[in-house]
Amino acid sequence: MAGLLSRERTIAPPGFNRWLVPPAALAIHLSIGMAYGLSVFWLPLSKAIGVTQSAPDDWKVTQLNFTFSVAIFFLGSSAAAFGAWLEKVGPRRAGVTAAFCWAGGFLVSAIGIKLHQIALLWLGLGVIGGCGLGLGYISPVSTLIKWFPDRRGLATGLAIMGFGGGAMIGAPLADRLMKHFATPTSVGVYETFLVLAGVYFVAMLAGAFGYRVPAPGWKPAGWTPPATAASAMVTTRNVHVATAWKTPQFWALWGVLLLNVSAGIGVLSLASPMIQEIFGGRLIGLDLPLAQLSEAQKKDVASIAAGFTGLLSLANIFGRLGWASLSDRLGRRRTYMIFFVLGAILYALVPTAGHLGSTVLFVGIFVLILTMYGGGFSTIPAYLADMFGTSFVGAIHGRLLTSWSVAGLLGPFVITNIRQFQLDRGVPAAEAYGTTMYILAGFLVLGFCCNLMVRPVSEDRFMREEAPAAGAAGGR
Amino acid sequence: MSDEGSRPSTGSWLVVAAAWVAVGVPLGWGLWNTLLKAAVLFR
């Protein structure tokens, strides 16, 4: 087994088809993407003892939701901590470890459900599963960039698209499984966790064993690397991970990701209540505010809001692929300039769309915003490869993902507190969103400034000789 | 060892197609479910 996982065993033979690597990466990202769908378990688990309704000893949804926060925190931490290890041992060993962690996280959490120990749930899906998320997320990045030197954005976009799409498969699957396993004495989550652990373990192992790294000196047939860098913002040399994170470029990009993701997370958390409170009865053809609707009408409105959220998840997924691919033509810096300029304008237009009462304009703005949120995630690995070279891009990307962990706390914190502050001052719920959106637009203006600060890495930061270990089989 | 310039064999494209179907079918199922959910917005 150890030999099978070694970097040397993953070096692709001559004639290997590089288009086999993106589906392998997708298998892993679609599995770990279920992290976004974990909320499907919280309501049933809040009735794990009472079954039909919550019993006094049942867990609260807020306690359960904490699992997701822990998982995202450990995603960023483990990606940062194990990125250099990944570059050393290769993507296959990292992918297999991710499979053990993610599936193992479900198993430990299943035991937690059986014993009704919330700490085991946090340890399972939060800590262990979170490490699986981090390792799984970064495992294909540097490999894909080395296989697709001509289309870095497209390659990473294809993989990272999977992380956005995992919940679309996992959440309805989990829902069906829970209904299948539910009995008068059980909500069926324990059994569902066991099945999902098995499904994800197999899918992720298949993905990990599908990974191949290109042989040294490999390049796509018919492609000639530019003799000199195509632009000052695209290097053909390498910066060591230990040096990269000490450069101003790294921290400027850290800020770029932090602000783009914080604004996106903020707007995502608001999307559903916002459309309901701003448009209220107009969503079902009645000119009434939400508070004056009957319970049945409110249910119809909530169902439309759920459809809106679904549409946003599609925008997020296609944005990951579309913007990252487009960045191959536009350049990464220009792509992020578009995210921040167009994004800030669109965020600032949301209150106007609400005042105009135009659902189409409102939905259209949100769809565009969410494509750029997804695009921010998928374009950043290629941006890093452009700035710091391909040899350590997996490890550098891992360290950069700590900004995601911070954004996961910052975005919701800002949104919740601004909204509460306004409500406490007597601002009507439907109008409390305006200031929030302007502040999120301000996040993007700051992101624009961070992106402006991204300049070519100075000469003394580049490695004099190429590192012998990391990326040994990668295209240098 | 360098396979610079070597093109993938024709047979490898069949394996590529199978691999994409393997990830594409569940992804398509997920997309379809989401589209159905989103369709409520346009009724």
**Contact flag B8-A17 (C-beta cutoff 8 Å):** yes
Q: Pseudo-torsion of CA A289, A295, A298, A299, nearest 10°?
A: 180
Mean pLDDT of A328-352: 95
Whether pLDDT at A439 is above 70: yes
Residues of A in contact with B4 (CB under 8 A): 217-219
The strand pairing partners of A186, in sequence order, are: A183
Contact A241, A384 (CB under 8 A): no
Query: When comparing pLDDT for B39 and B15, which is higher?
Result: B15
Residues of A in contact with B40 (CB under 8 A): 303-304, 306-307
Contact A342, A121 (CB under 8 A): no
Mean pLDDT of chain A: 91
Residues of B in contact with A363 (CB under 8 A): 41
Mean pLDDT of A43-51: 93
Residues of B in contact with A306 (CB under 8 A): 37, 40
User: Which of A14, A304, A313 is facing B40, going by the closest CB pair?
Assistant: A304
A215-224, A301-310, A400-409, A428-437: lowest mean pLDDT where?
A: A428-437
Mean pLDDT of A52-57: 90
In chain A, pLDDT over 90 holds for what percent of residues? 67
Token pair 């459309």 is found at A275
Q: Ranked by mean pLDDT, which of A245-254, A270-279, A281-290, B3-12 comes out on top?
A: A245-254
CA A291 – CA A293 distance, rounded (Å)? 6
A33-37, A255-259, A265-269, A302-306: lowest mean pLDDT where?
A: A265-269
What pLDDT does A230 receive? 63
Mean pLDDT of A456-466: 84
The verdict on B25 touching A (C-beta cutoff 8 Å) is no
Q: How far is A454 from chain B (nearest CA, A)?
A: 33
* A164 alpha-carbon distance from chain centroid: 6
pTM for the full predicted model = 0.89
* A459 alpha-carbon distance from chain centroid: 33
Whether pLDDT at A17 is above 90: yes
C-alpha to C-alpha distances, A125 to A66, A78, A444, nearest whole angstrom: 11, 14, 32
Look at the alpha carbons of A339, A340, A343, A345 in this order and tell me if their dihedral is positive or negative. Answer: negative
The verdict on B18 touching A (C-beta cutoff 8 Å) is no
User: Over the stretch A267-304, which tens digit does the pLDDT of each residue have?
Assistant: 887 888 888 988 888 888 888 888 889 989 988 898 89
Split at pLDDT 50, 70, 90, the class of A469 is very low
Which positions in chain A have a beta carbon within 8 angstroms of at least one beta carbon in chain B? 11-20, 23-24, 26-27, 30, 162, 165, 168-169, 172, 206, 210, 215-219, 221-222, 303-304, 306-308, 310-311, 313-314, 317, 363
The strand pairing partners of A213, in sequence order, are: A11
**Contact flag B27-A165 (C-beta cutoff 8 Å):** yes
Split at pLDDT 50, 70, 90, the class of A228 is low
Pick from A335, A286, A7: nearest CA to A139: A7
What pLDDT does A415 receive? 81
Token pair 């997804």 is found at A374
What percentage of chain B's residues is helix, strand, coil (to nearest 5)? Answer: 75, 0, 25
User: Which of B5, B8, B41 is facing A308, going by the closest CB pair?
Assistant: B41
**Contact flag B3-A215 (C-beta cutoff 8 Å):** yes
Whether pLDDT at A223 is above 50: yes
Mean pLDDT of A68-76: 90
Main-chain phi, psi angles of A11, to 5 degrees: -70, 125
**Contact flag B31-A165 (C-beta cutoff 8 Å):** yes
* 3-state per-residue secondary structure call for chain A: CHHHHCCHHHECCCCCCHHHHHHHHHHHHHHHHHHHHHHHHHHHHCCCCCCCCCCCCCCCHHHHHHHHHHHHHHHHHHHHHHHHHHHHHCHHHHHHHHHHHHHHHHHHHHHHHHHCCHHHHHHHHHHHHHHHHHHHHHCCHHHHHHHCCCCHHHHHHHHHHHHHHHHHHHHHHHHHHHHHHCECCECCHHHHHHHHHHHHHHHHHHHHHHCCECCCCCCCCCCCCCCCCCCCCCCCCCCCHHHHCCCHHHHHHHHHHHHHHHHHHHHHHHHHHHHHHHHHHHHHCCCCCHHHCCHHHHHHHHHHHHHHHHHHHHHHHHHHHHHHHHHHHHCHHHHHHHHHHHHHHHHHHHHHHHHHCCHHHHHHHHHHHHHHHHHHHHHHHHHHHHHHCCCCHHHHHHHHCHHHHHHHHHHHHHHHHHHHHHHHCCCCHHHCHHHHHHHHHHHHHHHHHHHHCCCCCCHHHCCCCCCCCCCCCCCC
A269-273, A302-306, A308-312, A361-365: lowest mean pLDDT where?
A: A269-273
Q: How far is A446 from chain B (nearest CA, A)?
A: 33
CA A290 – CA A428 distance, rounded (Å)? 12
Split at pLDDT 50, 70, 90, the class of A433 is confident
Whether pLDDT at A310 is above 90: no
How high is the ipTM of this complex?
0.89
Whether pLDDT at B26 is above 50: yes
In chain A, pLDDT over 70 holds for what percent of residues? 96
Token pair belonging to A123: 């340890």
The verdict on B41 touching A (C-beta cutoff 8 Å) is yes
Of all residues in chain A, the one with the smallest CA distance to B5 is: A221
* Apex A427 CA angle, A421 and A433, nearest 5: 75
Split at pLDDT 50, 70, 90, the class of A471 is very low
* A106 alpha-carbon distance from chain centroid: 19
**Contact flag A17-B1 (C-beta cutoff 8 Å):** no
User: Over the stretch A122-135, which tens digit does the pLDDT of each residue have?
Assistant: 999 999 999 999 99
Residues of B in contact with A168 (CB under 8 A): 27, 30-31, 33-34
What pLDDT does A409 receive? 80
Helices A332-356 and A248-279, packing angle to 10 deg: 20
**Contact flag A23-B13 (C-beta cutoff 8 Å):** no
Split at pLDDT 50, 70, 90, the class of A321 is very high
**Contact flag A311-B26 (C-beta cutoff 8 Å):** no
Mean pLDDT of A176-199: 96
Whether pLDDT at A393 is above 80: yes
**Contact flag A23-B23 (C-beta cutoff 8 Å):** yes
